[in-house]
Structure 1
Amino acid sequence: MDRSQSGPYLTRELHRYINACRFTYVKDLSAFCRLLGDDVRLRLIRLLGKEQLNVKELTAILGIAQSGVSRHLGLLRKSGLVEERREGGFAYYSLRPDGAGHARPMWEALEASLPMAEDPELKADDARLLEVLRMRKEDFQAHGSSAGQLVPGRSWAAWSRALGHLLPPLVVVDAGCGEGYLSLEAARWAEQVIAIDSSRDVLKRARQLARKRGVTNITWREGRIEELPLEDASVDVVLLSQALHHVPKPDLALCEAVRALKPGGTVLVLELRAHGQDWVRERLGDRWLGFRDESLEDWLFRAGLEDVRVEVGARLKGDPFTVLVASGHKAGGARRGRTGAAPSARGSVR
């Protein structure tokens, strides 16, 4: 090549290369913008920037169908933003540190702004994420020991069933039973379980599940927990698991539970401590945003129970949802079950 022509030649080639790169960048950037032009995908990306999660966990947090979560994850994986890792039979997803390619500067700006968002929906996502992490922490089978090693046979479910062996045969009411999961567990150790819910459709599904599992000592009844379809002094235990925050008058429901108890019987309550997560009203139908410990204790006492106790059942640092366990015993009769603790008139809050 003539040296006198080398300068213009190199300039033309350089311009051609720059234009090709510019065209490629614009195509990548356009695709990247379309990818992020979806609210659900942005929420999903934000969650995966905080924690690696599986499809089931993301479905619970985002509140959309599992197929939708899988579709969004597929698009994000194809773009290179998200990577997959398999562990314990689950596929876990997280953001790739080197994702976004040519659009990296734009992604970095977006990534920096996402954690600062004050949108109520994003705050609700954060709350649900913490609940998922709390349930993970309580799952022996998925997460093993503190050393990160699986321990075969370690199981909360097995422990709860083993503790049932310490109890005498009891007539147990699951008030506000929902789809019957707690009723089915109680049926392992109870003489009889009476499962009550106000929804006919929910009770139909619960009956089907009981038949599938071959459980025959559960009676299913339609009714409201503020007006239990039970005779006075007819049962040994009334369970109210996450039921009180769905009714207008929780104190009335507790009085109904005490009415149905035999002397010496027990009311056992699992409820949420007071919180500020207003999204549960629309998404889950909650009437109450949990309860103060003192309110639960006072209602149980006013309902006519003795030896009232309210204590924390489960919580995770930073999680807005704390599970409270509360109980009390009806005066008179021989108390069945745990012995050795001297009853007090008022009890304690822990």
Structure 2
Amino acid sequence: MTRALDIFRALGDATRLRIVQLVRRMELSVGELAQVLGQSQPRVSRHVKILCDAGLLARRKEGSWVFVTLGLPDAVPPVAALLDDWAGEDHWAVADAARLQAVRADRAAAAAAWFEGHAGEWDAIRSLHVAESQVEAAIAAVLGEGPLGTLVDIGTGTGRMLELFGAQAGQALGIDRSSEMLRLARAKLQGRANTELRQANLYALPLTDGAADVAILHHVLHFAEDPAAAIAEAARVLGPGGRLLIADFAAHDREELRVRDAHVRLGFDDAQIAAWFAAAGLKVARQETLEGGELTVKLWLGRRDGVRLKEVKAA
């Protein structure tokens, strides 16, 4: 009863209701919430604290930014169900959704402009952070030497993952939203009959459910405005026994990378990735830590339950 009272007190304000609904859509920084709500950041921070104290939201600091996400799993679902049941025509909800879309567009535009401007030096930029040969060797060890089935490289960039592992795949698909990146990838991968490159958004992959056996997000997730949604979409296209490999930075405090290199997120920790995997129907199968260089690189391998149809036929 005490928990229920705390929750209903926390929700007894229109702004806090709006905040909960916005964070249900995607993780947002306090500054972004203030932008969407049209309120000062200190005021929004006070509202967020009340919601966090009630267990409805949680805060996570990344450098000078504070990201807000959904809170306790025993508190959020019942409240979300009630809000959905009571939802009706609400001018605030419509306005907030439009402003949230603008925030997403701003994030995407900044990243797209950076990618287009740095496409030609992309491989060199990656190597500045940690020895790329070490990362590639670790990825190869995690994926193994056997056939990969249908391989999807999400955010393929210049096509390096397809160059390395495409020969192990029956079919290989590289997806990127940057036409300039894809132009460079096509030059690198020309002549590979099993490889296709397509321009698309990582939140709307041009694949049917369960169409892939392996998906890779190689140094992509820290550019994503909604990492949870990116992981969920990657998991959607995996069939039974399918694997998702993420190679990205461990959590760090290099704030300058937000501006200099258009990083949206300052790395990730194991608990974050595990929670996003679980929400997407994947289990953590393996983790690797690669120290050295300016930043630490992590590998996370998620696996969907079940056995691939090809493996059943082979047996």
State the TM-score, normalizing by the size of structure 2. Answer: 0.53
SS in 1 for 2:242: strand
Q: What's the counterpart of residue 210 of structure 1?
A: 189
CA contact (8 A) 1:265 1:336 kept: no
- Work out whether residues 165 and 189 of structure 1, in 8 Å CA contact, stay in contact via their aligned partners in 2: no
User: Alpha-carbon deviation of 1:283?
Assistant: 2.4
1:123-272 aligned within 5 A:
135=131, 138=134, 166-211=145-190, 214-272=191-249
**Once the 2 structures are TM-superposed, how far is the Cα of residue 309 of structure 1 from its aligned partner?**
3.3
CA change 1:163–1:323 in 2 (3 A) is: closer
What's the CA shift string for 1:156-176, capped at 9, x where partnerless? 76x977997831251000001
Aligned to 1:77: none
Gaps of 5+ in 1: 1-63, 65-127, 140-155, 338-350
Task: Flag the 1:278–1:133 CA change in 2: closer, same or farther, 3 A.
Answer: closer
Do 1:309 and 1:326's aligned partners in 2 also have CA atoms closer than 8 Å? yes
Task: Flag the 1:170–1:302 CA change in 2: closer, same or farther, 3 A.
Answer: same
Paired residue for 1:315? 291
Cα drift, residue 276 of structure 1: 1.0
Counterparts in 2 of 1:182 and 1:334: CA distance versus 1, 3 Å: closer
Residue 232 of structure 1 and its aligned partner are, at CA, apart by: 0.8
**1:51-130 residue pairs with structure 2 within 5 A?**
none
Note if contact 2:284-2:300 (Cα within 8 Å) is conserved in structure 1.
Answer: no
After TM superposition, give the deviation of residue 245 of structure 1 in Å: 0.8
One-letter amino acid of the structure 2 residue matched with residue 197 of structure 1 = D
Deviation at 1:322, TM superposition (A): 0.8
Q: Which residue of 1 aligns with 2:101?
A: none
Q: Secondary structure at the match of 2:169?
A: coil
**Corresponding residue for residue 147 of structure 1:** none
Cα deviations by residue, 1:131-166 (Å, 9 ceiling, x for unpaired)? 759529959xxxxxxxxxxxxxxxx76x97799783
How far, CA to CA, are the matches of 1:185 and 1:177 in structure 2? 12
Provide Cα deviations, 1:106-140, integer angstroms capped at 9, x if missing partner. xxxxxxxxxxxxxxxxxxxxxx9xx759529959x
Q: In the alignment, residue 315 of structure 1 is paired with which amino acid?
A: E
User: Offset at 1:284?
Assistant: 1.8
* Amino acid corresponding to residue 298 of structure 1 in structure 2: A
Q: CA RMSD in A?
A: 3.1
Task: Please give the alpha-carbon distance, in whole angstroms, between the structure 1 residues aligned to 2:236 and 2:259.
Answer: 32
Q: Does 1:329 align with 2:303?
A: yes
| Counterpart for residue 297 of structure 1 | 274
Per-residue displacement from partner, 1:317-340 (whole Å, max 9, x unpaired)? xx5511111011112234879xxx
Separation (CA, whole Å) in 1 of partners of 2:156 and 2:241 = 23
TM-score, normalised by the number of residues in structure 1: 0.48
Instruction: Return the alpha-carbon distance in structure 1 between the equivalents of residues 157 and 150 of structure 2.
Output: 19
Do 1:170 and 1:236's aligned partners in 2 also have CA atoms closer than 8 Å?
Answer: yes
Structure 2 unaligned spans of 5+: 1-117, 119-124
Which residue of 2 is the match for residue 123 of structure 1?
A: none
Deviation at 1:264, TM superposition (A): 1.1
For 1:172, the aligned partner's letter is L
In the comparison of the two structures, how many residue pairs are matched?
187
From the superposition, tell whether residues 332 and 177 of structure 1 become closer, same or farther in structure 2 (CA, over 3 Å): same
Judged with a 3 Å threshold, the aligned counterparts in structure 2 of structure 1 residues 169 and 328 are, in CA distance, closer, same or farther, namely: closer
Cα distance change of structure 1 residues 230 and 280 upon mapping to structure 2, 3 Å threshold = same
Structure with the greater alpha carbon radius of gyration: 1
Q: Describe the shift of the 1:162–1:196 C-alpha distance in structure 2 as closer, same or farther (beyond 3 A).
A: same
Q: Which runs of 4+ in 1 moved over 6 A?
A: 159-165
In structure 2, the CA distance between the partners of 1:167 and 1:336, relative to structure 1 (3 Å rule), is: farther
